[in-house]
Structure 1
């Protein structure tokens, strides 16, 4: 019997090829979109799942006087790990992590540059479950000058040799010989903590025993292992007393709050946490959920298409139902047959969807910068999920058509009287409204996402970032800065060179400042940027008052330029005379200097954040971590080649790396670009599927009214009259859909834009434009069938009357 149901279902699908193609295509596109988003969501939610212990990351909320707003940061202080463990029995273990980028490692004459190495406590591998291939997990990092390298690093340095016990040399601030005590498997891509080597923290603090007293210096990440079933909220309530106990000397504890974030939430739920350097491919969970919801909407639209087209063709199946019932078929048997048709169609669509996904994955990977795969045969659970979802889609999509069609009364349908009244039309029209409300909603969201992205990319940040090449300086090349600058400026291809300790567009460091004016001493915190005297000139940052840095060191030793935001805080009465900058506690020398200028406010961070108080500090002796070179834009290729030649001449032991500053800002807004692109693609898919369904319904409406059209043509109706008659009902539903979509879209856009400190206005004309576009798309879709019906020869349609 089941075999006959499927055979009959297949014949019906084959008989109505056009509608089957529309249904399969719509379902396949919707399912493909849903599968891609599901793969993306599964990848995002897989981050750090291979760690079994109850690990939390310690985070700070910093709220110093002088800051425009408090900020959450991923950083913590060196003494916090051991003191927290001693204070609270809920904390079973801790480990601290500090990072070093572009580490130079040598094995004899063989030199490699590692993307990132970590300084960690000996407890690192006791807490984290990274796979150790060689070495003792408990003791591998206990001794000073111990190092663990990954399998890939071992192959680069030693080839196929056994590396345990071998010596490698790390060239950092100091030259340190390290013994390889272990080899780790390569770090998985779904780990927020990425590294090529681990160096024992005892290597560092054996050289500086005072590190344990470094309260106030935030320069590392601290991870805590909590006892099972720990009440995290209760533990966090104890932290203020803890801070007061250890930081009471300078009363600085009031400026901090501590909170914990589960390790498995760090990747996706730390979007509002800054200075989050150990968070590979960080992507906010709200975006992931948005993608998933939109993908479900697209799939719902595809399912609506099936229900609409199935019920629209009900008159053609009426006699079949009547005959089957008259010879003894039960209603459940008829329902099973119609659901079987839906299931067959769904599985055909699934096969097509999988093909579409495989075809589109390279593009998706390029867009998302991830290595997403669809391992159907390597992951039985994924295959079962997709197959089970397809079965559910087939059953749910076929339930209403099955219930409706199987309810026909055989006496009436065999007499030619089929109820096609308001109830069926009302539901079908409601589904059309839902389809286009969803499509209009997504169109509006897409327009605002693109506008906000363009606004951030094109808004004047207050400085010039065009034709600026930025080059990172390591522990060797920074010493050659003066020589590099001199050699570069000797060529007409270079119009300016400057140095700084940070790059614009990054989350810049903050430091405490003491302000001495005519009033009492004030202690504040502001964003710090250490620069050379040509910084404001190269970046064309205008001054609101005062002068630029002098080329020569002044008699007082230091000069400061502050931004307008800090000036409003400090210089309200224009009585301020000088500023003192302190780093940590008991710095050991007087860093006071005059405020010589006030720079106009500029967006040194992304437009997600308000402009904070800031001071620029002329202190070349400390060295720069970044060099900016302004080049002749008309000869960019020649200029870059010249910069490389100067670099290789002066810094042969350091790799030459560069990027253009505007490319760096593209990376800053990459997540926003990914969101706007993916939402736009999903919105386009929703519109395509809606149009497929509308095309099918318009085709059916034209066929059902073919005799009416013939009569009207005989009585003198024009083609325009007939097209208008067949189109107006559908356009009415699009207008109703707009009235539903508008308030939902406005609320969603309003809440979304709240995350941006600088944002576009919510313009009314965009809402109207989305409706006009939707109506035009619907009109074009409908008109194809309407014109075809209007142009048909009425003699053929009326021949049987």
Structure 2
């Protein structure tokens, strides 16, 4: 049966080739999808104790204020271990920041550095390549580094027992650990021994409840075998009353503890402040739909081509039936043909996916990051084989029953015809293909239009002429004043300032007290801090009042708010109104109001915002330059940097690029839909080529007669294309509202939405019509240009 199937496929090489290529595209999308889902759905499961590890998070609220945060007070886990049975161990991570590592007069800038506890090796079982887990972080001044950092500092040598300096602190390397897998929600490269203690946590020998409301660390608990998070939460009530609520009652506040299972953190649906990249469940859904749609298109292609060729195989089927082949055996034989083509496509798919994952920019283009580890994962490999088998059966099932139903008498007489029912079936399937292909094409164009609209929208501040230079440590920040003065001597530089915060990217959050209804009430504000040049540098306009003067000496005497804050508080005349920090005894007052601007991405509405005066330099040196002079401004900045900080790496970015990063997830979806468009179009084109070639082959005599009667080649092309044109036109009428509905739903993620671009819709439809016309015309012309005498003689 297998040998016969191979013989049949070889005899019909063109159609076999088209089927296998179509199935290859579909299976490639499915295999890629399985690899992606395997990577995404196993986040943090590589840790041995992941089922017993939980991250501590909190919902802290008071009138006008709510914080949903994964940061905890460093004192919390020790208290929990003392009073809540079931906790085996804990590990805290205190953020060091993006700092400098110095070694042998070389300076390296490094991110993902944390202070932590020696127990980190018990909770996360890191694989040490050098050093001993029990002692690596036991002593102060110890540091363990990842293999990546080790290679950057020491090449192929292990840096064990060598000394490095991090932000002025000399540390001894006591361990080097293997790089963490890519699918971990919390990646770290440098771990320094010791989480700092806070003196104010104990006052006169009594624990200060307010300390627990001031969170600084990411904390993970390792629960004992047999203990569940519900066991801990059920016992937390008395603990909460004892330690959290003494201060909570003072501010009329509430506290709720959450324990997040380690493997669930990446896709936790609840919005939480933790500074880590989150997984996007929408991407999982979209990617899954993409893979299934492409595979379905490939199956439809196979069904179409197989049933279209039924007339050519009718005599073969009739002879086999006359010779006694049972219908069941015939169907099995036809299914074997389908499975042979599916497994041939599978082998090609493995090669194609390997090339795409390991040797192409597709991964970075789609914003994903995983390896081709199919053969290292037996269950995943079995899953792909199951997909292949199901695909072969689904694709071959209808043709098998369709062909096996041919009546031998009519087949041998040569009178068998697929009939109107078979023709309508093929047309319906082709219509479905075009609906999907045109739909995803229109969706891609509309998504790109929305993202372009966001990137070009005026956010209320200057974003296109701003250079950002990283000043993340005390050494570089100490040079702020001299660098600012030097930079402003260049004609290309208009203004220079510094801050930790940038509108549209990273914004602070703080509790204030403001004058409301004759008393001071607490309210939560987003906040930015900066010096007197902050507004002018970033081009943020004042609506009324004034900004901070260069002679300002205090950061709690004067404040500037935005228009939304004034409305939220209910101030008709905000200038002079009292406000201050939560613990501030003598409040300051409002001196100015800035016009509303988008201090978050355009996914979010504008919220109440306050500017706090802070003349001290921050992590960003913010440089505004003349229009269209980015290169000259960059050269000036690098010259000043090299003169004043010759041994420090010069790192920079442009503000508009930083802002555009906020829409990476949206661009990923758009690019995925674009990639799907290419695959869908390719599969549809394969099907169109096959069906058109078959149709022309069936109508050779008609074309010859028309040529003899004087028909021009163009007229023949028009006649042959008319059926395809009607199908594409109908598919367009169906796909357009579906694409619009889908994009309208997707656009609900944005506060600001572009208007429906009719021109883009018409462009997409024109592309579909023109592409199909060119393909059909090329195939028809090849037949129409032949000598009709030869064509009719063959008949």
TM, length-normalised to structure 2: 0.88
How far 1:609 moved relative to its partner? 1.6
* Residue number in structure 2 paired with 1:441: 439
* Residue number in structure 1 paired with 2:183: 190
* Residue number in structure 2 paired with 1:615: 610
* Residue number in structure 2 paired with 1:701: 695
* Residue number in structure 2 paired with 1:644: 638
Cα separation, partners in 2 of 1:773 and 1:253, compared to 1, 3 Å: farther
**Of 215, 222, 226, which residue of structure 2 is paired with 1:225?**
222
Deviates more, 1:646-655 or 1:22-31: 646-655
Match status 1:545 vs 2:541? no
- Mapped to 1, the partners of 2:202 and 2:68 lie a distance apart of 29
1:18-417 → structure 2 map (5 Å cutoff): 18-53=14-49, 54-61=52-59, 72-86=68-82, 88-89=84-85, 91-106=87-102, 112-138=108-134, 140-154=136-150, 168-171=164-167, 175-205=168-198, 214-226=211-223, 245=242, 246-251=244-249, 252=251, 254=253, 257-269=256-268, 273=271, 275-279=273-277, 282-361=278-357, 362-368=360-366, 372-375=370-373, 383-417=381-415
List alignment gaps of at least 5 residues for structure 2: none
Contact 2:286 2:669 in 1 (8 A): no
SS at match of 1:95: strand
**Of 683, 691, 696, which residue of structure 2 is paired with 1:689?**
683
How far 1:318 moved relative to its partner? 0.9
How far 1:569 moved relative to its partner? 1.7
- Mapped to 2, the partners of 1:291 and 1:326 lie a distance apart of 49
Query: Which whole-Å deviations, capped at 9, do the CAs of 1:402-431 have from their partners, x for residues lacking one?
Result: 222122222221122214123322332222
Query: Which whole-Å deviations, capped at 9, do the CAs of 1:413-450 have from their partners, x for residues lacking one?
Result: 11222141233223322222221222233223222321
- Mapped to 1, the partners of 2:320 and 2:349 lie a distance apart of 34
* Residue number in structure 1 paired with 2:664: 670
How far 1:547 moved relative to its partner? 1.8
Cα separation, partners in 2 of 1:718 and 1:500, compared to 1, 3 Å: same
* Residue number in structure 2 paired with 1:420: 418
- Mapped to 2, the partners of 1:639 and 1:763 lie a distance apart of 37
- Mapped to 2, the partners of 1:64 and 1:441 lie a distance apart of 48
- Mapped to 1, the partners of 2:728 and 2:156 lie a distance apart of 67
* Residue number in structure 2 paired with 1:599: 594
Contact 2:130 2:176 in 1 (8 A): yes
- Mapped to 1, the partners of 2:217 and 2:411 lie a distance apart of 78
How far 1:349 moved relative to its partner? 2.6
Cα separation, partners in 2 of 1:691 and 1:49, compared to 1, 3 Å: same
SS at match of 2:258: strand
How far 1:629 moved relative to its partner? 0.9
* Residue number in structure 2 paired with 1:461: 459
Cα separation, partners in 2 of 1:366 and 1:261, compared to 1, 3 Å: same
Contact 1:269 1:285 in 2 (8 A): no
How far 1:141 moved relative to its partner? 3.5
How far 1:384 moved relative to its partner? 4.8
List alignment gaps of at least 5 residues for structure 1: none
Match status 1:733 vs 2:727? yes
Deviates more, 1:499-508 or 1:700-709: 700-709
- Mapped to 1, the partners of 2:622 and 2:223 lie a distance apart of 45
1:551-630 → structure 2 map (5 Å cutoff): 551-553=550-552, 558-574=557-573, 577-582=576-581, 586=583, 592-621=587-616, 623-630=617-624
Contact 1:489 1:495 in 2 (8 A): yes
Contact 1:66 1:526 in 2 (8 A): no
Cα separation, partners in 2 of 1:719 and 1:236, compared to 1, 3 Å: farther
Cα separation, partners in 2 of 1:21 and 1:64, compared to 1, 3 Å: farther
Q: How large is the Cα RMSD of the aligned pairs?
A: 3.5
Cα separation, partners in 2 of 1:82 and 1:556, compared to 1, 3 Å: closer
* Residue number in structure 2 paired with 1:521: 520
- Mapped to 1, the partners of 2:230 and 2:746 lie a distance apart of 28
- Mapped to 2, the partners of 1:458 and 1:239 lie a distance apart of 50
Contact 2:566 2:572 in 1 (8 A): no
Deviates more, 1:9-18 or 1:398-407: 9-18
Deviates more, 1:481-490 or 1:196-205: 196-205
Contact 1:30 1:295 in 2 (8 A): yes
Match status 1:778 vs 2:775? no
How far 1:640 moved relative to its partner? 2.1
How far 1:456 moved relative to its partner? 1.7
How far 1:52 moved relative to its partner? 2.6
Cα separation, partners in 2 of 1:131 and 1:92, compared to 1, 3 Å: same
TM, length-normalised to structure 1: 0.88
How far 1:682 moved relative to its partner? 0.8
How far 1:294 moved relative to its partner? 0.5
Deviates more, 1:603-612 or 1:443-452: 443-452
How far 1:564 moved relative to its partner? 1.1
SS at match of 1:290: helix
SS at match of 1:647: helix
How far 1:283 moved relative to its partner? 3.5
- Mapped to 2, the partners of 1:449 and 1:65 lie a distance apart of 40
Match status 1:758 vs 2:761? no
Cα separation, partners in 2 of 1:315 and 1:241, compared to 1, 3 Å: farther
**Of 8, 13, 23, which residue of structure 2 is paired with 1:17?**
13
How far 1:749 moved relative to its partner? 2.7
SS at match of 1:510: strand
SS at match of 1:646: helix
Cα separation, partners in 2 of 1:458 and 1:156, compared to 1, 3 Å: closer
SS at match of 2:344: helix
- Mapped to 2, the partners of 1:43 and 1:703 lie a distance apart of 47
- Mapped to 2, the partners of 1:708 and 1:747 lie a distance apart of 44
How far 1:103 moved relative to its partner? 3.1
Cα separation, partners in 2 of 1:555 and 1:624, compared to 1, 3 Å: closer
SS at match of 2:110: strand
SS at match of 1:608: coil
Contact 1:516 1:577 in 2 (8 A): no
- Mapped to 2, the partners of 1:33 and 1:772 lie a distance apart of 27
Contact 1:494 1:639 in 2 (8 A): yes
- Mapped to 2, the partners of 1:579 and 1:549 lie a distance apart of 16
Deviates more, 1:336-345 or 1:431-440: 336-345
SS at match of 1:756: coil
- Mapped to 1, the partners of 2:298 and 2:569 lie a distance apart of 60
Contact 2:444 2:674 in 1 (8 A): yes
How far 1:169 moved relative to its partner? 4.1
Cα separation, partners in 2 of 1:454 and 1:256, compared to 1, 3 Å: farther
Cα separation, partners in 2 of 1:290 and 1:269, compared to 1, 3 Å: farther
- Mapped to 2, the partners of 1:87 and 1:207 lie a distance apart of 21
Deviates more, 1:385-394 or 1:663-672: 385-394
Contact 2:209 2:246 in 1 (8 A): no
- Mapped to 2, the partners of 1:357 and 1:71 lie a distance apart of 44
